[in-house]
Chain A
Amino acid sequence: MVSFSLVYDILRWEEKEIINEAKKREINLNTLEIKNVNFKLDKNVEKSLKEEIFLQRCTSSTRRLFSTAILEYAGGQVINNFQTNLISSNKLLTNIILLKNRIPAPLSYVSFSEDSCIKSSEMLGFPLVFKPIVGSWGRFVHKIRDQYELKNILEYRSFLNSMYKEVFYIQEYVEKPCRDIRCIVVGDEIVATIYRYQANDDFRTNVALGGKVEEARLSDGQKEIFFKVKEAIGGEILGIDAMEKKDQILINEINSSVEFGGAAKVAGKKIVESILNYIVKKGKR
């Protein structure tokens, strides 16, 4: 019987789906509630886990990243691995990997002071999008129409205790058709592709913000780009987001603890089933 451990901090709908699906099958699912764990870092840790499989599903990206580092050091096989978590949890590092692999992404500028950010905005032009390099669910992702708005945001931000406050990341505002594309990849297979439509008059399409979903039929050329992203970043189970700009697609970000409640409205049980099939196959290798 295949065993694996689900690593989590809070249980979202997705984690419960995974647990319920595992119960239906000959799979022994253990849980590792990361908030109640004490890792002793001594020499006995190394390789103590003997290839055990972990499905990393923490909601906090820092818990995800650092618990993965420890589990890997201890010899565990973590889905997704440390490197994938490191890159995908950070929009700037993701952007660099995309560039390196010649994968199209929105034109972005990075700077390290408010004044330079204002200069970058002049080079980029308005409207633009200002976003924290760490974060999700659309939090603090702002569309900025002119320099006055940018200065306002910078002023408010200067009073926040945010993680990477000294890093200023802005990008071209992509005139997309009111939606973006979410592609869920499990192993070597694309298991779901959906459009996420923006809610009300928000430019953000996050399902967490109320965005609606619809099945997306992608061309082979578009699928090729998503596979390329997966190759570039590594990882085994990913949610890749892209925006359409005329007839091009631009990769926006990569999610390593993908939420698939929205996509499941279109793809049904296929996503959770593929995840477990994948783990079973990996466990038998």
Chain B
Amino acid sequence: METKYISCIECKGNIEVPDDAMVGELLECPDCGKIYEIKEVKNGKIDYKEAEAISEDWGE
């Protein structure tokens, strides 16, 4: 299988998507550090958005 990438909205860098990527998974842009969240995986197509900001109720 060929490696999948998504493109960073901020810096246009290429972000590698692992084969077993799932909804909710976080991916970090290797170039600028921006974090994305996978929104949908459908027929191998990846839909993503800017990751949700950490909120005060997050954690263990």
Binding site for B on A (CB under 8 A): 8-11, 16, 19, 31, 33, 35-36, 59-62, 89, 132, 134-137, 139-140, 162-163, 208, 239, 255-259
Give the CA-CA distance A239 to B60 in the complex, in Å: 8
Contact partner of B57 (CB less than 8 A), chosen from A10, A33, A61, is: A61
A163–B57 Cα distance when bound, in Å, is 8
Q: Which residue of chain B lies nearest to A10 when distances are taken between CB atoms in the complex?
A: B24
Q: How far is the CA of A270 from the CA of B53 in the complex (A)?
A: 32
Number of B interface residues at 8 Å Cβ cutoff, please give it. Answer: 14
Interface residues of B (CB under 8 A from A): 22-26, 37, 51-52, 55-60
Q: Give complex CA distance A9, B53 in Å.
A: 12
Q: How far is the CA of A59 from the CA of B56 in the complex (A)?
A: 11
Residues in A neighbouring B58, C-beta threshold 8 A: 59-61, 136-137
Name the prevailing secondary structure of the B interface residues.
loop
CA distance A83 to B29 in the complex (A): 39
Task: Check if B56 sits within 8 Å of A10, measured CB to CB.
Answer: no
**Closest B residue by C-beta to A19:** B22
Chain B nearest CB from A277 CB (Å) reads: 21
New A-B contacts (7) at CB < 8 Å, excluding given A11-B25, A35-B24, A62-B57: A10-B24, A10-B26, A10-B37, A33-B23, A135-B57, A139-B59, A256-B60
> Residue of B at shortest CB range from A64?
B57
